[in-house]
Copies of this chain bind each other. A is one copy, B any other.
Amino acid sequence: MNTASTGGGGREPRWLTEDEQRVWRAYLHATTLLEDHLDRQLQRDAGMPHIYYGLLVQLSQAPRRRKRMTELAIDAKITRSRLSHAIARLEKNGWVRREDCPSDKRGQNAVLTDDGFKILERSAPGHVEAVRQAMFDRLTPEQVGKLGEIMKIMAEGLQPQDSGADLPWLR
């Protein structure tokens, strides 16, 4: 980390300009509202929060509809701990089951069940519609393009850098 100055020990901070503040607030505003909106939509229509839905989607797209826990955690950008809890809950719903990894006795695969797949089929249309209404229906193609570029750049800058300690790399 080169954020030694982050603690407040540095010189005059580079405050945001008026314009930047406006953009930042708009960003926070929009992202919060959208996340809340999707969480509610999916909680209502699929009985789970957005992140859990995302896990099922990942599994549905994986070969044989299964994935190693760690891999799933990385792809979904969550900690293994969080994933453990999440899979436990989804397992209770009968939408996922665990299976021992044949090649590594430490490992577990999360497997999407048929019930899980059905839930996905059933709720996917409503979810896509919600995403469309919130984003793609409201933006011009040009804006969508720009948004894609911008988000890609931001994501790159935040990629779980190197490491240093135990396993902060995993987030």
Chain A residues in contact with chain B, CB under 8 A? 3, 5-8, 10, 13-16, 19-20, 22-24, 26-37, 40-41, 45, 54, 77, 122-126, 128-136, 138-139, 143-159, 171
Contact = CB atoms under 8 A, between A and B. Distances in A.
B129 A5 contact: yes
Given A150-B147, A155-B30, A128 B15 contact: yes
Contacts of A150: 139, 143, 146-147
A134 B157 contact: yes
A168 B22 CA distance: 27
17 contacts: A8-B45, A10-B125, A14-B132, A15-B128, A16-B128, A16-B131, A19-B144, A20-B136, A20-B144, A26-B152, A27-B147, A33-B77, A34-B158, A36-B77, A37-B158, A138-B154, A139-B150
Instruction: State the number of copies, please.
Output: 2
A103 B52 CA distance: 45
B126 A139 contact: no
Contacts of A123: 8
Nearest to A158: B33
B33 A159 contact: yes
A126 B3 CA distance: 8
A6 to B, nearest CB: 4
Contact of A31 (B31, B41, B138): B31
A129 B14 contact: yes
Nearest to A76: B32
Contacts of A154: 30, 33-34, 134-135, 138-139
Q: Which of A133, A138, A151 has the most CB of B within 10 A?
A: A151
